[in-house]
Amino acid sequence: MAVLNADRLIAACSDESEEAGITIRSELEPLGGEGAPVKPATYAGPQGEKRPRFQAGKRWWINGPDRRVVDILVVDNEPSQANRLEAALEHRRAELGLPEIVLDLTAAGNLPAHLPRRISSFRFPHRNADAYLADATLDGVKFPATDEGKAIFAATADRPEALLQWCPQALLFGFWQSHLGKKGSQAKLARAWTSEILGVEPAAQDIRRLGLKGDPLNLSIPEGVVVDETAQREWTVAVKGAKGDKKKLSDIGHGQVPVSGDEAGLDGVSFRELVQRATVSFASLRRIHAVQGSAEARALLVSLGLVAHVAAFGRPFSLRSGADFRPKATTWTWLGAGADEVIDAPDCEAAVGLFSACVERAEAAGLPVGATWAAEPLFVEPGPELLKAIRASWPVD
């Protein structure tokens, strides 16, 4: 069985290469066992529809001679998978030596406990093109006006050096500069790494989870309550016969509440098969052209994705409540120019070693990686208007 190494990746990522990419297919099993229900991601329905819905579809399912159209539910879609891969990279940032930009929210004051105090560039919703970064300041200067900001916001697939230096994951998972105005950059780069988790042939697609929120005292008052929406837990029992906006006790967490009808959430689904499919496209990465070392840059990005995948999904993992999986069988396939070839799946240590070797080769080719990567994060702060928006959304006590 073939083993991946830096030489092979660099050759496959060259402009002249006819190699296609790597695909990873994993058969997954819920922790409850084969056929146990799992919770796919839910999404809002059309405007006016209260019920959430699953992302449903149909796919050609090919297993040897078995070729047929099957019903599927998307358990975790491509954007969500990319976010999980980036979170895995953030967790291993120091070990990998990766660069990071951090939005420090200290100036926003006493934010609620559930909100982050910092937002990492591995968590920016739009990566290097994110509005949080565009509206940040560095040492009191608007970030887009700094040397670092100018380079990052001007970066494209044909000028990727600033992203290799500050946000290499954006070159792998894609970006779109859509918040810089009509005269600003509108640069786009399609994701080269795609991944999704599918549930094949669901036993049912719209089963609701019924229930009852209990109350030891079974509180019930006909008058209702008046709630101060601007304060935390400030409410009074309404005066009998009083007019105006009133709420039920259940709206503030008291009383028994039957869960049924439109209020009932979607229940878990049992599937015949659960599959994760991930692919990195060398053809897509060949859109990236550095001044020098393009093949080395692309190989580095491939190895970065492999580390992220193994770290995030190479062992039992949890997507959300009711969606915990373990990989039963995983196959890595090299999609070659002449023929496909099963390759040896690296463990996390081997994937990190491959990444380190690719970083060394990219650095030797003159790319701003490795020693150029800052050991400590680059801290930026919210700009004045962003700070106002944060404080207006979450007033300081």
pLDDT value of residue 263? 66
Q: Quick check: 155 pLDDT over 90?
A: yes
Residues 279 and 340 in one domain: yes
Using 50, 70 and 90 to split pLDDT, how confident is the model at 1?
A: low
The answer to whether residue 198 sits within a structural domain is yes
pLDDT value of residue 190? 96
The answer to whether residue 1 sits within a structural domain is no
The answer to whether residue 71 sits within a structural domain is yes
Residues 160 and 253 in one domain: no
Residues 320 and 231 in one domain: no
Interval 252-281 mean pLDDT:
86
Residues 176 and 255 in one domain: no
Task: State the Cα angle at 326 between 323 and 327, rounded to 5°.
Answer: 125
Domain boundary among 225, 259, 293: 259
Neighbours of 47 (CB within 10 A): 5
322-342 pLDDT, tens digit each: 999 999 999 999 999 989 999
Q: Quick check: 220 pLDDT over 90?
A: no
Q: Quick check: 287 pLDDT over 90?
A: yes
Residues 196 and 294 in one domain: yes
Neighbours of 99 (CB within 10 A): 23
pLDDT value of residue 200? 96
Percent of the chain surpassing pLDDT 70: 97
175-204 pLDDT, tens digit each: 999 888 877 889 999 999 999 999 999 998
User: Which structure tokens are listed for 328?
Assistant: 């039963």
The closest of 205, 197, 246 to 24, measured between CA atoms, is 197
pTM for this structure?
A: 0.92
The answer to whether residue 265 sits within a structural domain is no
What one-character-per-residue DSSP string does 97-166 give?
A: T---EEEE-GGG-S--TTS-SEEETTT-TTGGG-HHHHTEEETTEEGGGSHHHHHHHH-BTTB-HHHHHH
Domain boundary among 221, 237, 259: 259
User: Which structure tokens are listed for 262?
Assistant: 């439109």
Q: Quick check: 360 pLDDT over 80?
A: yes
Average pLDDT score over the chain: 92
Residue numbers of the domain that contains 44: 23-202+271-346+364-393
Interval 227-254 mean pLDDT:
81
The closest of 152, 157, 171, 172 to 289, measured between CA atoms, is 157
* Alpha-helical runs (H) found in 242-289: 282-285
Q: Quick check: 266 pLDDT over 90?
A: no
The answer to whether residue 332 sits within a structural domain is yes
Residues 170 and 41 in one domain: yes
Q: Quick check: 261 pLDDT over 80?
A: no
What one-character-per-residue DSSP string does 213-253 give?
A: E--TT----SS-EEE-TTSSS-EEEPPTT--S--B-GGGGT
pLDDT value of residue 25? 97
User: Which structure tokens are listed for 311?
Assistant: 């770290």
Using 50, 70 and 90 to split pLDDT, how confident is the model at 259?
A: confident
Strands 136-138 and 141-142: antiparallel
Residues 120 and 173 in one domain: yes
Q: Quick check: 81 pLDDT over 90?
A: yes
Using 50, 70 and 90 to split pLDDT, how confident is the model at 262?
A: low
The answer to whether residue 321 sits within a structural domain is yes
Residues 131 and 240 in one domain: no
Q: Quick check: 248 pLDDT over 90?
A: no
160 vs 246 pLDDT, higher one: 160
289 vs 224 pLDDT, higher one: 289
The answer to whether residue 16 sits within a structural domain is no
Residues 34 and 126 in one domain: yes
101-149 pLDDT, tens digit each: 999 999 999 899 999 999 999 999 999 999 999 999 999 999 999 999 9
Residues 53 and 106 in one domain: yes
- The letter for the amino acid at 39 is K
The answer to whether residue 379 sits within a structural domain is yes
224-235 pLDDT, tens digit each: 888 887 777 888
The number of domains in the chain is 2
Task: Please tell me the distance from the alpha carbon of residue 303 to that of residue 169, in angstroms, as a whole number.
Answer: 11
Q: Among 34-38, 50-54, 83-87, 154-158, whose mean pLDDT is lowest?
A: 50-54
pLDDT value of residue 66? 84
Residues 123 and 219 in one domain: no
Task: Please tell me the distance from the alpha carbon of residue 304 to that of residue 310, in angstroms, as a whole number.
Answer: 10
Percent of the chain surpassing pLDDT 90: 74
Residues 184 and 239 in one domain: no
373-397 pLDDT, tens digit each: 999 999 999 999 999 999 999 887 6
